[in-house]
Structure 1
Amino acid sequence: MPSTKPRPSAPLYEQIRQLIVAALAAGEWRPGDALPSEAALAERFGASPGTVRRALDELTAEHLVERRQGSGTFVSTHAAPRQQFRFLRLVADDEAGSFSRELLGCRRVRAAAEVARALGLRTAEPVIEVRRLLHRRDRPVVLDELWLPERHFEGLTADVIQNHPGALYALFESRFGVHMVRAEEKLRAVAATPEAARLLQVPEGEPLLSVERLAYTYGDRPVELRRGLYHTLADHYRNELN
């Protein structure tokens, strides 16, 4: 269990936030679990309930926990309907429903240099490569390729993915204990290659939105590199700036 005494290197609420994150990373509370009450956390950390509340406010803003009126504070989970597509910002122009998924492949490969660099691995270290299509309105909209360090996802196969009814990130939580807490993205316009054009059912050279995402778990550890090609004829990328 992480230490219950905050380190005197930051404001007290930030020290408590760090200790709660350390407890989450250690698996003391799993995604979907209820946290102890503010009073219990205040006693544990030797702080006032108000200080604990501010730490929880910070964690809520980071989407690491969520407040539920009348129920308490819970560890955020990608299994919750509103969290399943938290990192996917492609929105239908006509507000059409969610995506269906088509798995194209899942295999163990050696990490290319750029994949290894992004994930903090050695070149040629084993990774799991997953390719899939996301459909909306019975048409392919997103071509996804993602790479995951095998050491964190040992046993991930096509059958495991096919037999999981929910989002991939919910599977990563429940089966492998890896919770994606934040992501960085790079966006650029590209032209469809012959393979992408075939899979997305568009003309070769069709403009596509390329989205490269690096997702992190607790402790700012990168655990997924994802590259997506988005066909935005009837969809748009939406972000909220605060």
Structure 2
Amino acid sequence: MPAPISGNAAEPSLDTGLSATPAFSPLYQQIKGLILQRLQAGEWKPGELIPSEIELAARFRVSQGTVRKAVDELAGENLLVRRQGKGTFVATHTEQHVRYRFLKLVPDDGDLIREGPAQRAFLECKRTRASAEIARALGLRSGDAVMQVRRVLSFAADGGAQTPTILEDLWLPGGPFKGLTAERMAGFRGPTYALFETEFGVRMVRAEEKIRAVLPDADQAGILQVAPATPLLSVERVAYTYNDTPMELRRGLYRTDTHHYRNDLS
């Protein structure tokens, strides 16, 4: 049994994604870091039940209340999911309420159910070498192997024909995503991050985005079936797995004639 954790001990070495403290951290934050270490190590996999708060309190030799506060924060960050009467589970991108939490483009009428899932067309999926810019975003060295994917997402606005709405370019580290193909992505019945999680063992836990208005080039305008003078929303995202390790660079161009970008702030 591990020695009890001191209430003013130094924070665990795992980067939990919170701002660093000068020397100490609250006890529940230390427990949160230790739980994150277990998640990162794969001790509890996506969709699996984690030990109860009583069991975790005994393991870490702290109070149940301290564990509960740590678990509450992890649940608030969509890393864990509480289920009444069943326990706490590792969150997974296959769950309905979180599967599209990184996609913020919604139809103007707000009816996601009527619109239905996107139709995906993969234009390219190849193994290539990272440019200096791509390598910097993914924490790699220039020239390292990456997977590059280009795809179009189309939606049926108002129940009509499918309209190309999002053009995306993705870059992924070559090592963790060895074996990724367009056929494998197209054949997966679910969101892309669920594919990464279930077939490659990479769980995206948070993302950072930069958004600006741009004009498409001729190639982009042709793919999205818009005039070259049509303003589009450019969304650049870096998605991270545990320990703030970058695992995806994604650049998307969004049409906003029938959709808008919505973000809930709290």
**TM bucket, shorter chain:** over 0.9
TM-score where L is the length of structure 1: 0.96
1:147 aligns with 2:171: yes
How far apart in 2 are the matches of 1:67 and 1:37?
11
Unaligned runs of 5+ in 2: 11-24, 157-161
1:97 aligns with 2:152: no
User: How big is each residue's C-alpha offset from its partner over 1:138-187, in whole Å with a ceiling of 9 and x where there is no partner?
Assistant: 10110010000001111111222122111111111111110000000000
Instruction: Please name the residue that 1:208 is paired with.
Output: 232
Q: Among all aligned residue pairs of Structure 1 and Structure 2, give the percentage whose two residues are the same amino acid.
A: 54
The answer as to whether partners of 1:193 and 1:205 remain within 8 angstroms in 2 is: no
Instruction: Please name the residue that 1:77 is paired with.
Output: 92
Q: 1:6 to 1:107 in 2, by over 3 A?
A: farther
Instruction: Please name the residue that 1:119 is paired with.
Output: 138
How far apart in 2 are the matches of 1:6 and 1:213?
37
How far apart in 1 are the matches of 2:5 and 2:46?
23
The answer as to whether partners of 1:141 and 1:231 remain within 8 angstroms in 2 is: yes
Secondary structure of residue in 1 paired with 2:193: helix
Whose radius of gyration is greater, 1 or 2? 2
Q: How many residues align?
A: 240
1:98 CA displacement:
3.0
- Amino acid aligned to 1:51: T
1:220 CA displacement:
0.4
The answer as to whether partners of 2:4 and 2:62 remain within 8 angstroms in 1 is: no
1:205 CA displacement:
2.3
Secondary structure of residue in 2 paired with 1:83: coil
1:66 to 70, 77, 81: 81
The answer as to whether partners of 1:105 and 1:158 remain within 8 angstroms in 2 is: yes
Alignment of 1:1-242 (within 5 A): 6=5, 8-9=9-10, 10-94=25-109, 95=111, 96-137=115-156, 138-242=162-266
Runs of 4+ in 1 over 6 A off after TM superposition: none
1:48 CA displacement:
1.0
Q: 1:4 to 1:222 in 2, by over 3 A?
A: farther
RMSD: 1.3
1:116 CA displacement:
0.3
